[in-house]
Amino acid sequence: MRNNMFDCQRSWLEIDLSALRHNVKEICTMLSCPEQFMAVVKADAYGHGAVRISKELNRMGIHHFAVATLAEAIELRDSHIKGDILILGYTDPCHVKELRDYDLTQTVICEDYAKLLEKQKIDVKVHVAIDTGMHRLGESDIKKVKAIYQSHYLHVTGLFSHLCVCDETTKESQKYTYQQIEEFMTFIQNLKKEHYSIGKVHLLSSYGLLNYSTYSFDYVRMGILLYGVDSSLPKQSQLSLKPVLSLKSKIILVRDIQSGDSIGYGRTFITSKPMKIATVPIGYADGLPRALSNRGKVIVRGQFAPIVGRICMDQMMIDVTDVENIQENDVVTIIGKNQVCQNVETIAMQTNTISNEILSRIGYRLPKIYKYE
């Protein structure tokens, strides 16, 4: 007989909405008012499920959201998410009608892009991105920014920039960040001096709030910290945040392997003694980094079990030789929330990346189970 909702799943994500609520309250202690909170829910809310997360945030009074694409924004509107939705990335000008019809705000990435939007002759709300030194998106010429404000069909409701090394604490990084801040402030002052109605202003993301909270302005774009995770180790956040996501699977097969046998593709792991090996139905197609092959570990029955052999597209193998009473259907925790379990920051460090990438690559085929703990 099946005992709980997880028994029928191959692998799954557990999303703790109580932890999400806790994190919002913690972050708000650093804001002047809750209205400054802009929740970044791009990439399916960093793998947490954008619609469900946004609905929970709506219930908490959060009504400012940021996404990366038009499709992400439309998904929220179709799911009746209330409030402003800012598209931080590029939208083809041929979709201006959708921007208007879904009441979305589009980022203007440069003056030429603004002209293309203007040619559509459809009223649309925009925020102007200012390039203060990251050189990714944004306009750096004040004359061109003024020209955007003078558009007929583009209604500028905001102005923003992005700090590219605000998460780093070296003197060089801090110096560069303050240069970016000064450049942004100069833009604001010049526009105000000529009586432009600049709209809402925002500059800081998660690490900007941690390290440069003086410059919070009207909005703060809260991404990775909203989900209770640091981008990398060592942790910088002094807030008492809680991870929202756990990644779990279960053992589907246990085998006794003789000394000298090989495990997995490429025969990269050869047993040096008789071992007990378990197969777990999760792989790199589910977002588990293949770089964890022969170096990562999971939790089974409260004990660490090393990943052995190469991680496959849909399965991986683990060494459970030292785990007592191991059996099929035992739960395997790949990403956990307590100190005993391996967290996403550790996995990011082991695979030479950041937590943001690990979370945003978690596979679409993993069901999400939402609960309050």
The one catalytic residue among 42, 125, 248, 297: 42
The one catalytic residue among 97, 178, 265, 372: 265
User: By C-alpha distance, which of 48, 47, 43, 93 is closest to 73?
Assistant: 43
- Token pair belonging to 222: 């809260």
- How many of the other CB atoms lie within 10 Å of CB of 290? 13
The residue ranges of DSSP E strands in 147-291, in sequence order, are: 154-160, 200-202, 220-222, 245-250, 253-257, 262-263, 269-270, 275-280
| Residue 86 CA from chain centroid, whole number | 16
Rounded Cα distance between 317 and 294, Å, is: 10
Whether the CB-CB separation of 36 and 69 falls below 8 Å is answered with no
Beta bridge partners of 9: none
H helix or E strand, kind and range, residue 303: strand 303-308
Whether the CB-CB separation of 70 and 91 falls below 8 Å is answered with yes
Q: Among all chains, which residue has been given the structure tokens 């996403």? A: 344
Rounded Cα distance between 214 and 217, Å, is: 8
Rounded Cα distance between 195 and 126, Å, is: 19
Residue 242 is a catalytic residue: no
The end-to-end CA distance of the chain, in Å, is 25
Residue 175 makes CB contacts below 8 A (sequence gap 6+) with none
- How many of the other CB atoms lie within 10 Å of CB of 273? 9
Residue 42 is a catalytic residue: yes
Pairing label, strands 262-263, 269-270: antiparallel
- Token pair belonging to 153: 């069909």
Mind telling me the catalytic residues?
A: 42, 265
